Amino acid sequence: MVIRQGCSKRKGPYLFPDRNAELDYLRWADQVVRGLQYLHSCNVVHGDVGIKNLLLSDEKDLKFSDFGGSSIDQSNLLVEPSPRYHRMHSWRYPIQGVDSPEETWQLPTRKVDTFAVGTVLYEIFTGALLYGDKDYDEIRRIFTRQEYPDLTDIHIPEVRKTIQACWAERYESMDDIIRDLKGILEEDD
């Protein structure tokens, strides 16, 4: 089952609307962040992290998929990722009047994946695609203005803070995200 099938344009819990849903969401947040932490430790930048590239096993565990555009050891990405999961400075093709010439294409960094974590967490905890009713150019313009949706529907303060910090690109690594979510994520120790 692909998790994206559970996301809609509407707001509100959608994937598993039961009492255990929040526990699933927290476990998925942990799996996404720790999975990317592992990839980064192997010098791999996924580069296209998003709900569309997360699979859900029968045991309700998340699995990363579609590594076709990943960067290994600072190689170029081979695909242009969805704008829902990246700020404008990681784009190959500029939009006239939005991007400056120096903000067209850069080698992918771990920050590309950390920004995407914010959007993935938003979509997991709200059950809605970020700007699902907008086209890609419109999303890029919104991100250029650094405008993001209200997060009050997400009632876990650590998750809200983490999403905001991801979108503001304040994290250097997945370790920083794990630190901010410590206490609510499952410990594997």
Q: What is the DSSP letter of 41?
A: H
Length of the chain: 189
pLDDT tens for each residue of 77-108 = 555 556 556 655 544 444 455 555 555 555 66
The per-residue pLDDT for 100 is 55
Q: Which residues carry out catalysis? A: 48
pLDDT tens for each residue of 102-133 = 555 556 678 888 999 999 999 999 988 999 89
E-state strands within the chain: 44-45, 54-56, 62-64, 71-72
pLDDT tens for each residue of 44-58 = 888 778 888 899 888
CA distances from 159 to 141, 187, 189 (A): 25, 16, 22
